[in-house]
Amino acid sequence: MNAAAELPQRRLFGGSLRRNRRWALAASYFFLVLFAIFFLIPPYYQLVTATKSSAEISNQTTDPWLPSFAPTSENIEELWNKTDFPIYLRNTALVTLCVVAITMTIAVPAAFSLGRMKFWGSGILATGVFLTYLVPDSLLFLPLFKIVGSLGLLNSYWALVLVYPTLTVPFCTWIMIGYFQSIPKELDEAALIDGASHLQMLSKIFIPVALPGLIAATIFAFTVCWAAFVYPMAFIFSSDQQVLTAGTITTLVKGDVYQWGMIMTAALIGAAPPLVVYAFLMDYYIAGLTSGATKG
Amino acid sequence: MAQVTLNKVVKKFDQTEAVRGIDLDIADQEFVVLVGPSGCGKSTTLRMIAGLEETTAGEIMIGGQIVNDLPPKDRDIAMVFQNYALYPHMTVFENMSFGLRLKKFPKAEIKQRVERAARILDITELLERRPRQLSGGQRQRVAMGRAIVRNPKVFLFDEPLSNLDAKLRVQMRTEIKKVHQQVRTTTVYVTHDQVEAMTLADRVVVMNGGRIEQIGTPHELYHAPKTRFVAGFIGSPTMNFIPCRLVEVTGALGVQLAEGLTLPVPSERDPAYRPYAGRALVLGIRPEHITETRAYAAGAEFAMSVDVVEPMGMETIVYFMVDGTEVCARVTPEAALAPGKRMRFLADMRHMHLIDPQSERVIDVPGATRVHGTARVPAA
C-alpha cells in the first residue's frame, strides 16, 4: 500500500528532475552558441578580409561577410616583403621574452618571501603589490615617459623591457602568492628539517610543486607584453624599434587610408603565438587560476 | 641516540602563553608520548624541540647540547607530520633521500639507507611511485621512512595517525611500536588520543593548559593519577566523579554518596585519608571497578535503579544516577538489567580515588600503583 502510493510520486519527481536538467542543458547550449558566435565573428571577419585583394575589399557590390571568390596571398606577401612587419615581429618576440624572464625572476622570489616567510609588514606589502597593478597604464605612461626619457631610452625597445614589468610583476606576484600559500606549511617545515636552505626550498620544493601557477603567471606575462599598446605607442617612434601592436597601426594606417587587407593579416599573425601558447598550456592555466579553491 | 631535556621551557605567542614553563627529561632510546586536549601546548612543545618554533624562555638540550639557537637541520632530528608532508613531485625514493642528497651523501650510501628503511617499513615495491599514487597508510610509512633514513638522534611525531581511519590507525600504531623496537631511537610523540599514548609510550606526559599535569608510565597514570584532570583524561569510558563526604562509621572510614548510601574505605587507605574525615570530597572510580555483584569478589555492594543500558558486545555499559550524578558501570552482558529495574552493583573500593575539590588533586595514597587483582579475578 505504502510502496504503491510512493511509486508514482517518485516517478513524478524523477521526471521533473530530468525535465529540469533538459532545460538547464538547453539554456547552456543556447548561451554557449551565442558566446561562441559573438567571439568568433571578429577573427572570422579578419580571415575573410585578409584573403581579399584591396580591389575586392573596396568593391561595394560584394558582401564583406562572405569569403573571397578569388582568395589571394598578396596581403601577406606585401606585409612580409614590403613593410617592416618582420622587424616588429622580431622586436615583439625579443621584448616579450626578456620581460617574461625578468618578471618571473622578480615575481617568484617576491611571492615566496611575501607568501611564506612571515615578516613584519609582509601582509601590507602583499596588498600594496596588488594595488600597484590597479593603476592603469594609460595614466602611468605620463610619468614613465619622464623616467624613460631621463634614462635615454626613448625610442628604444629596451624602454619596453624596462616598463612592461610594471604591468606584469604585480599581477604575477599576486598569482604566485596565492599559489604558494595553498601549499601546506608542513612542506616547508619538512624541507627545513631535511636541511634545505630557503633558496633550496624555493627551487627544489616550491617551484616544482607550484608549476601550474608558474605557468599561469608566465602566460599572463606573455599575453600582457605581446598585446601592450599604450607604451610602445608613447615611447617608440622609429620603425626599427617598433613592436607589432603599435607598428601595425602606424605603418598600415596612413592618414585616412586604411590598408584593411594587410591590417587584418597582421592582426591574424599577431594573434597566432598567444593562441598557440594558450592551446598548449590551457590545462595548466586553468589549474593555476583555480588552485586553492578546493582541497588537494 | 640521545637524551632530550627541557628546562623551564616557556612559549608565548604575543600575549598568550602556550607553554608555561615545563621540565622534562627524556632518556636515551625512550619513547615518550605527550598527550592532552587540543590547545594544551603539546604540539608547540614538540615544535620547539624540532626548532620550528623559538622558545620564549628556558633551555632545550638534545644529547647534552643546548639547541635553542640551532636551526632544525643542525639539531639532528627527524619529524613525521600529521598530513605526511611528502613532496608531491618526488618519488618515494626521492622523498626519502631528499635530506641525504642535500647533505651530499654518496649515492651508494643513500641507496643502501633508503633500501634498509624501505625493508623495515615494507615499502620496497613503492619506491618508484609518487605520493598521490599511495594510500594514506602507505604515505605515513614513507613519511616515517624519510625520518628513519636520516638516522637522527631523535624522532618527533606530530599526531601522525590522526588522518587515518580507525582500523588503519591501530595497524600503524603497532607498526610504529615495532619500528621503535628495531631502531631504538629516542622518540617524542604527540597525540590527543589517550589510547595511542597508553599503548605506545614508555612514559606518558599528560599536558593541560600549557603545563605538565603528570609524567608517568601508562600503568602509573591509570592506577595512580595525581590530578582530577589526569584521572578523567586517561581511560575510556572516563572515570566516574561522584561528590561525596568522607565519614566515620564506628571507627572505620566510609564515603557517603547519598542518604543511605555509604561505601566503606579499604582499611589500608585509612591512614592516608584519615586527615580528610568529615570533608566534602569527590570520589573517583573507574567504570570497570563498578560491576555486577560476584560471589567470589570482595567489594562494597549496593543497589540502584538502571537508567540507560549500552550493550558493547563483550560487555555492557550501564548508567545509573547517584544523587543527581550520572555513574557508569561495566557489567557482563548477561548481568545487565533493563532500564528502570533495580540492579545490585559491586564497587571494588581498592581502586577508589579521593579528590580534593579545591585543589583538584587526588589525595596521595602511598603504594597505590600496586596492581590489585581486579574484581573479575577470583580472589585467591
What CATH code is carried by the domain that includes residue A105? Answer: 1.10.3720.10
Q: Do A160 and A265 fall within a single domain?
A: yes
Q: Do A248 and A186 fall within a single domain?
A: yes
Distance CA B172, CA A273 (A): 53
Paired residues of B17 in beta bridges: B12
Q: Classify B345 as helix, strand or coil.
A: strand
Residue of B nearest to A186 (CA): B85
Region class of B102: left (phi > 0), else alpha (psi between -120 and 50), else beta? alpha
* The predicted structure's pLDDT at residue A294: 40
Higher-confidence residue of A213 and B347: namely: B347
Q: Do A96 and A175 fall within a single domain?
A: yes
Q: In this predicted model, what pLDDT tens digit does every residue of A187-221 receive, in sequence order?
A: 989 999 999 998 999 999 998 888 888 888 998 89
* The predicted structure's pLDDT at residue A32: 96
**Residue A36, min C-alpha distance to chain B (Å):** 37
Higher-confidence residue of A15 and B34: namely: B34
Q: Do A42 and A97 fall within a single domain?
A: no
Q: Give me the interface pTM, i.e. the ipTM.
A: 0.82
Q: Three cell numbers at A150?
A: 631621463
* The predicted structure's pLDDT at residue A292: 42
CA nearest A188: which of A174, A206, A173? A206
For B239-362, the fitting CATH number among 2.40.50.140, 3.20.20.70, 3.90.950.10, 1.10.1050.10 is 2.40.50.140
Q: How crowded is residue B109: how many other Cβ atoms within 10 Å of its Cβ?
A: 10
B101 touches chain A (CB under 8 A): no
CA nearest B174: which of B135, B144, B131? B144
Match 583555480 to its residue by C-alpha cell.
A290
* Among the partner residues B73, B79, B88, nearest to A209 by beta-carbon distance: B88
Asked if residue A228 is part of any domain, the answer here is: yes
Q: Do A39 and A91 fall within a single domain?
A: no
Is pLDDT at B377 greater than 60 in this prediction? no
Q: Classify B16 as helix, strand or coil.
A: strand
- The segments of chain A whose pLDDT lies below 50 read 1, 3-5, 292-296
Q: Determine contact, residues A233/A251, Cβ cutoff 8 Å.
A: no
Q: Do A196 and A125 fall within a single domain?
A: yes
Q: Determine contact, residues B111/B101, Cβ cutoff 8 Å.
A: no
Q: Do A87 and A46 fall within a single domain?
A: no
**Residue A182, min C-alpha distance to chain B (Å):** 13
**Are residues A189 and B78, on separate chains, in Cβ contact within 8 Å?**
no
CA nearest A108: which of A226, A205, A227? A205
Q: Determine contact, residues A57/A49, Cβ cutoff 8 Å.
A: yes
Distance CA A124, CA A127 (A): 5
Size of interface A-B (CB pairs under 8 A): 56
Across B223-251, b (16+ Cβ under 10 Å) vs e yields: bbbbbbbbbebbbeeebbbbbbbbeeeee
Element (H, E) at A170: helix A165-181
**Backbone CA torsion sign across B154, B158, B164, B169:** positive
Mean pLDDT of the region B112-141: 91
Q: In this predicted model, what pLDDT tens digit does every residue of B191-228 receive, in sequence order?
A: 999 999 999 999 999 999 999 999 999 999 999 999 99
* Average pLDDT, rounded, for chain B: 91
* The predicted structure's pLDDT at residue A117: 80
Match 600594496 to its residue by C-alpha cell.
A128
For B4-232, the fitting CATH number among 3.30.70.260, 3.40.190.10, 3.40.50.300, 3.40.50.1380 is 3.40.50.300
Q: How crowded is residue B342: how many other Cβ atoms within 10 Å of its Cβ?
A: 10
Is pLDDT at B296 greater than 80 in this prediction? no
Range of the domain at A256: 83-290
Region class of B8: left (phi > 0), else alpha (psi between -120 and 50), else beta? left
| Partners of residue B88 in chain A, C-beta under 8 Å | 209
Q: Determine contact, residues B118/B143, Cβ cutoff 8 Å.
A: no
CA A280 → CA A276, B10, B293, B295, distances in Å? 6, 54, 78, 82
Mean pLDDT of the region B109-126: 93
Mutation target vs A (from B62, B75, B84, B89; most A CBs, 10 A cutoff): B89
Q: Determine contact, residues B120/B199, Cβ cutoff 8 Å.
A: no
CA nearest A177: which of A228, A140, A216, A120? A216
Q: In this predicted model, what pLDDT tens digit does every residue of B300-315 receive, in sequence order?
A: 899 999 999 999 999 9
* The predicted structure's pLDDT at residue B297: 76
**Are residues B88 and A192, on separate chains, in Cβ contact within 8 Å?**
no
Mean pLDDT of the region B343-349: 94
Asked if residue A137 is part of any domain, the answer here is: yes
Q: Three cell numbers at A288?
A: 593555476
Is pLDDT at B27 greater than 80 in this prediction? yes
Q: How confident is the model at residue B117 (pLDDT cuts 50, 70, 90)?
A: very high
Residue of A nearest to B85 (CA): A187
Residue spans of the domains in chain B: they are: 4-232, 239-362
Task: Give burial (CB, 10 Å; 0-12/13-18/19+) of B163.
Answer: middle
Distance CA A237, CA A242 (A): 7
B70 touches chain A (CB under 8 A): no
Name every residue whose Cβ is closer than 8 Å to that of residue A232 and which is 6 or more positions away in sequence. A157, A160, A242, A243, A245, A246, A247
Q: Three cell numbers at A230?
A: 599604450
**Are residues A209 and B50, on separate chains, in Cβ contact within 8 Å?**
no
- Please state the length of chain B: 380
* The predicted structure's pLDDT at residue B365: 87
Residue of B nearest to A191 (CA): B99
Distance CA B332, CA A17 (A): 53
**Are residues A193 and B82, on separate chains, in Cβ contact within 8 Å?**
no
**Are residues B87 and A200, on separate chains, in Cβ contact within 8 Å?**
no
Name every residue whose Cβ is closer than 8 Å to that of residue B275 and which is 6 or more positions away in sequence. none
Q: How confident is the model at residue B111 (pLDDT cuts 50, 70, 90)?
A: very high
Residue of A nearest to B83 (CA): A186
CA nearest A171: which of A223, A124, A208? A223
Mean pLDDT of the region B37-53: 94
Asked if residue A218 is part of any domain, the answer here is: yes
Distance CA A204, CA A196 (A): 9
Mutation target vs B (from A118, A186, A193; most B CBs, 10 A cutoff): A193
**Residue B75, min C-alpha distance to chain A (Å):** 9
Pairing type for strands B31-35 and B186-191 reads: parallel
* The predicted structure's pLDDT at residue B380: 34
Paired residues of B354 in beta bridges: B283
Asked if residue A107 is part of any domain, the answer here is: yes
Asked if residue A66 is part of any domain, the answer here is: no
Is pLDDT at B378 greater than 60 in this prediction? no
* The predicted structure's pLDDT at residue B91: 92
* Among the partner residues B52, B103, B146, nearest to A189 by beta-carbon distance: B52
**Residue B147, min C-alpha distance to chain A (Å):** 9
Q: Do A152 and A285 fall within a single domain?
A: yes
Q: Do A131 and A225 fall within a single domain?
A: yes
* The predicted structure's pLDDT at residue B99: 93
Domains contained in chain A, number:
2
**Are residues B103 and A184, on separate chains, in Cβ contact within 8 Å?**
no
**Are residues A190 and B87, on separate chains, in Cβ contact within 8 Å?**
yes
Is pLDDT at B331 greater than 90 in this prediction? yes
Give yes or no for a cis peptide into A136 (omega within 30° of 0). no
* The predicted structure's pLDDT at residue A293: 40
Distance CA B13, CA B41 (A): 11
